[in-house]
Amino acid sequence: MAMRASGNRRLVCLLGLILLGSPMLALAALPRAASLTVCADQYLLGLADPAQIVAVSPDAADPNQSLFAAEAVRYPAHRGDSEELVALQAELVLTDRWLPLRTSERLERLGIRVIQLPLPDSWAEIAATTRTVAAALGRPAQGEARVAEMEAQLERLAAHRHLVRPPLAAYFLPDGGSAGAGTFIDAVLQAAGTRNLATTLGLQGWGTFKLEQLALAEPDLIVMGFFDQGGDTLRMAFARHPVFRHLLTRLPAIAVPDRYWICSGWFLAEAADYIAERLPVSENVP
């Protein structure tokens, strides 16, 4: 009986050690991961377990560009050199889709898996991308949580759309570019409760429309994206154009901080919410 009791105690102790060690075993199975760009930083910092992150891009801690700037300061920033990533023992690297093929191939030859993020344009595509990246990080539950977060925020926005006629919003980049149907900007503007002028004018994808079109269309407000960077470069020439400056004196304008839509991810719901909260007051549905 004593031998049996002793054996039972050993078994209980062994099971206890296994159960106590299981979180550590699970963490050890997660790939060590790094991100190469500010867009990839958002996915890594928002989906990965903090302990599996080995490095982020130099822009990750910039609060103007990153929603996760506060979290990013905990990790080393790297330049993306293959040697650096090998030294960090990275097993998985997140980057944007325009990473040169040679760089991607070199990293994969070194045994580092590369995931090039697409630029999803719809909420369904964003959900699919979020789940794919989360699964690659070994964190599918976190992916589902982020998707649920996004969907709940979109549902709240939809429930509060009480305008008789959604305002007509003219979206502009500082170089005069805009975004029409089939872009994540269009998805955000719709979710915020506006009509996208570029879409109503027939623009598909990314492009431009003339200021004359803008004047004739008589939008209700201006939505500005990526104006945070400022400077005197050619890229900002449109933002300084007298016609555009005059337009800003006549119409309400919403300048969305870059960090809310630095790229397309579940966090775009934050951009929609930011716009919705600042829409001009309109009549309620009777």
CATH of the domain at 115: 3.40.50.1980
Last residue of a domain, one of 156, 181, 216: 156
- 16 lies in some domain: no
Number of domains observed in the structure of the chain: 2
- 76 lies in some domain: yes
Q: What does the pLDDT read at residue 106? A: 87
- 89 lies in some domain: yes
- 3 lies in some domain: no
- 17 lies in some domain: no
- 249 lies in some domain: yes
Of 16-25, 186-195, 221-230, the one with minimum mean pLDDT is 16-25
Question: 79 and 55 in one domain?
Answer: yes
What mean pLDDT comes out for the span 173-197? 94
Question: 172 and 143 in one domain?
Answer: no
Which span out of 19-33, 67-81, 240-254 was modeled with the highest average pLDDT? Answer: 67-81
Question: 254 and 190 in one domain?
Answer: yes
Last residue of a domain, one of 122, 156, 190: 156
- 179 lies in some domain: yes
Question: 192 and 125 in one domain?
Answer: no
- pLDDT band at residue 236, thresholds of 50, 70 and 90? low
Long-range contacts of 118-123 (CB under 8 A, 24+ apart): 119/184, 119/263, 119/264, 120/184, 120/264, 120/265, 121/182, 121/183, 121/184, 121/186, 121/187, 121/264, 122/184, 122/187, 123/150, 123/151, 123/154, 123/187, 123/191
Last residue of a domain, one of 106, 130, 156: 156
Structural domain containing residue 116: 30-156
Q: Is-above-0.75 flag for pTM?
A: yes
